[in-house]
Amino acid sequence: MAQRAAALAARGRPAGLAVILVGDDPASSVYVRNKVKDCEESGIRSTLDRMPADTTQATLLARIAALNADPAIHGILVQLPLPPQIDAHAVIEAISPAKDVDGFHVASMTGQPGFRPCTPYGVMKMLEHAGAVLKGAEAVVVGRSNIVGKPQAMLLLQADATVTICHSRTRDLAAHTRRADVLVAAVGRAKMITGDMIKPGAIVIDVGMNRDAAGKLCGDVDFDSAREVAGWITPVPGGVGPMTRAMLLENTIEAAERAAG
């Protein structure tokens, strides 16, 4: 990606990412700091707009409109969550699909030309790297959020996997997870997927980011028991998170390349 960014800069068309952070949520501040650092290391020009927690929706939408019209900006990222007075859906839909490098716009969710959502895209890259044969495979996604669960299912379907989406009201969750060749856990409950719920040799992707009773970071999968059964498994932290950030850079560079022709 650094090579591609350098090629754009050499043409006088450097890739530009605008990041907007509303409020002072500590976790969001860490995420944003890491994203800006990634841009610096990759040769992508980034700007960071810090807006106070009492920012109105109209003010934020006006800022997005200005960035949509700025030819030097190829990607716009509004860090979630947003303060309660702001409708996140309205904000996401206000970002031009051509600059929606998070891949949250409805165009991306429905398979129209756009950008793949960063976390599901990163998961697909990990599956590719592991040599997973997805055509005809049984894939189970636990979680149905618009950010991970639903788009993850769509990408797996596009890869010709047979996909089941499970959620909090699924009856006998283990019956579904035990038949999965690929299991993606994205439900947001610490260690809820245990080793006895996993098919031997399965690929287990843990998207969760939680804290256990001791305050230690952990995923949705009980790593210690799952690793004894799984063929491949991602750790938390250090698994899906870095891939999400990498795919943000990938989408930003792709947006800049499209704009440059």
Catalytic residue among 38, 79, 152, 222: 79
The alpha carbon torsion through 154, 158, 161, 165 (nearest 10 deg) reads 10
- Active-site position among 38, 99, 100, 102: 102
117: cis peptide before it, omega within 30°?
no
What does DSSP assign to residue 221? Answer: B
Q: Where are the alpha helices (DSSP H) in the chain?
A: 2-10, 26-42, 57-68, 88-94, 106-109, 118-129, 149-158, 173-177, 223-226, 240-260
Active site residue 57: no
Distance of alpha carbon 65 from alpha carbon 72, whole angstroms: 14
Distance CA 211, CA 205 (A): 18
Catalytic: 102? Answer: yes
| 158 is annotated as an active-site residue | no
Q: How far apart are CA 16 and CA 171, in angstroms?
A: 46
Q: How far is CA 91 from CA 18, 59, 141, 150, 198, in A?
A: 14, 11, 27, 19, 38
Q: Report the alpha-carbon distance of residue 237 to residue 219 in Å, rounded.
A: 8
List residues with catalytic annotation. 35, 79, 102
